[in-house]
Chain A
Amino acid sequence: MDSRNPTESPIVTEQNPEPQADPRADLGHTRPMVSVAGEPAAKPAKRGREIGNIELQGLSAYYGSNRAVRNVSLGFDSAKVTAIIGPSGCGKSTMVRCINRMHEEIAGARSEGKVLLDGLDLYDPRIDIVAVRRSVGMVFQKPNPFPTMSVIDNVTAGLRLTGASRGELDDRAREALVGAGLWDEVKDRLKAPGAGLSGGQQQRLCIARALAVDPEVLLMDEPCSALDPVATLKIEELIGELKERVTIVIVTHNMQQAARVADTTVFMLNGELVEVGPTDEIFTNPNDDRTEQYVTGKFG
């Protein structure tokens, strides 16, 4: 268990000033929401962050007969960053992968229960799975830029099927790169291969790629576990900026990270939801003994 990360040091806070451009300067446009087939697709969505609320109702997820997530009911508030902590194999990632329906891609995997995005059940048979993923983006553990694509093509990969013009794509790509705090570092090498960036840059490229599609929710599955402390810090700062525009759910093994970035923390154990509450409460004064033991390093 890498629940403690001794290499994290507060010294790094002072270096690497982030790009000064305000990432939220021109984000006033609307975007299509997930829609039920046959109903009007684009509902004007205000940026007041009253959208992007996720609610899990009695969610269970299986790999074959193995029940990895057990009857979890939980809400993710659009205005807050939620961290999910718990020992390896406790179902954190699986639960998160149910939110954008990536779980069912695995052979033999299935789920029960409901996942509501702003009241709409994402598992309704009329819901299109591709549309779900455009509304609920995801960043993975290891940076996975498309190796055949340039930096800019990576960012626009998810957008190109909308038939947007080249100029529009460039604008959206720039906006996403600024949003991911990567613009200043890559603006002179947009045509270079995305795989040529450093690990931390690659991960922010993946965040930019996810942001470019303009999702309501951004799922981050241990986004820093393959990164060094400096790159980790940048991503954490980024999370703080991004929570204004997307609901963020972050799975992490690193409890300090949860304490730093999250407003709400969820503790899971053996597929079950043990406790959910404000982050400082979970870490200082949890209700459940198991939570206390875990956050104090007594097991896991």
Chain B
Amino acid sequence: MSHALLMDRGNLKRRNRISKVVGGASTIAALLAVAVLLIVVGSVLLKGIGALSLHFLTTPTALFGESGGGISNAIVGTGIMVGLAALMAIPVGLLVAIYTTEFASTRLAHPIRFVLDLLNGVPTIITGIFVYGLLVAGKHQSGFAASVALAIIMLPIVARTAQEVLTLVPGTLKEAAHALGIAPWRATMRVTLPTAAGGLLTGALLAVARVAGETAPLILLSSIFSPGVRTEPGEALASIPIFIFQSSESPSPEAHTQAWAAALILIAFVLVLNIVARVFYARSRKRMGA
């Protein structure tokens, strides 16, 4: 056998070259994605860090025409609305996921999955208008209406991630539970859910992170609020996204810096939630032997 056959030439040379080009292109694409994130986070950090202070975090928004002020009312408002939304969406989402993965027949589970995907794709402004017609039109804006809209946005995220995680629980465990004569619902409560707990928590946290920055429905449902820290969900509540939106529309440069600072807070919150979610997910996968 001639050594030439084993050398990098002719057809083999061309194939190696193509391989290098494709590999390079995908590396560049991956770096681009990382770069976009770094640029966004970096610019928010640079422009917002100046206005960030304890005072900014602990003072309510300044009245129109006054300077100073902060976002304490927006933080509290976002906390209340997202919290209420989570209280509504997470239990329902988990139950939907348990139903589709553990109890429903395949013929029922598939349509439900499809409907959840559709719901996930509904533009949030449409969810906002729907809730507006339901709870606000003819009455007044409220934090509760906003949390209902956020809950509708969260529901498919919670349910779909929970479905994915529950299907990861090894069938052998469910079999083991059934073979012990443990009733199906108890097997779900005692075996399937604890095994998947970390992953389920991940889904819930990601859903929270997703709606914490949701803006469109809030513009319709909770954007005209009284000054100061408000905690009553029956009235409109301030929120970080609305603060960013309104401050960035203001002509004052100070308001712009404040908008950047609020954006920084929001990004930091979402980032932390995502990291925590990752940690839980990794643990959960390990437990399930995946």
Residues of A within 8 A of B (CB): 100, 102, 105, 107, 130-135, 137-138, 140, 142, 144, 146-149, 157-158, 160-161, 206, 209-210, 213
Of B149-157, B179-187, B206-214, B271-279, the one with at least 4 CB within 8 A of chain A: B179-187
Further contacts, 10 of them, CB under 8 A, given A100-B179, A130-B183, A144-B170: A105-B178, A133-B178, A135-B181, A146-B177, A147-B195, A157-B191, A158-B181, A158-B182, A210-B179, A213-B181
Interface SS of B by simple majority: helix
B168-207: contact bitstring with A at CB < 8 Å (1 yes, 0 no)? 0010110111111111001000110011010000000000
Measured CB to CB, the closest approach of chain B to A11, in angstroms, equals 33
Question: Is residue B289 within 8 Å, beta carbon to beta carbon, of the partner chain?
Answer: yes
Chain B residues with Cβ below 8 Å from A209 are 176, 180
Q: Is the CB of B176 within 8 A of A144?
A: yes
Residue from B180, B191, B197 in contact with A137 in the complex, judged by beta carbons closer than 8 Å: B180
- Shortest distance in angstroms between A208's beta carbon and chain B's nearest beta carbon? 11
B287 touches A157 (CB 8 A): no
Contacts of A105 in B (CB 8 A): 175, 178
The chain A residue with its CB closest to the CB of B182 is: A158
Nearest B residue to A147, CB-CB: B287
Docked complex Cα distance between A147 and B177 (Å) = 12
Residues of B within 8 A of A147 (CB): 173, 195, 287-289
Structural contact, A133 and B179, CB atoms closer than 8 A: yes
Encode contact with A along B250-289: 1 for CB under 8 Å, 0 otherwise: 0000000000000000000000000000000000000111
A209 (CB) vs chain B CBs: closest residue? B180
B106 beta carbon closer than 8 Å to chain A: yes
Q: Tell which of B175, B191, B195, B287 touches A140, judged by Cβ atoms closer than 8 Å.
A: B175
Chain A residues in 8 Å Cβ range of B176: 140, 144, 146, 206, 209
Are the CB atoms of B179 and A107 closer together than 8 Å? no
A277 and B190 CA atoms in complex are apart in Å by 42
With known contacts A105-B175, A147-B195, A158–B180 Cβ distance under 8 A: yes
Report the minimum CB–CB distance from A107 to chain B (whole Å).
6
List the A residue with the shortest CB-CB distance to B190.
A157
Residues of chain B lying within 8 A (CB to CB) of residue A131: 181
Q: Is B179 within 8 A of A102, CB to CB?
A: yes
A102 to B187, CA, bound (A): 14
Alpha-carbon distance A140/B172, docked complex (angstroms): 8
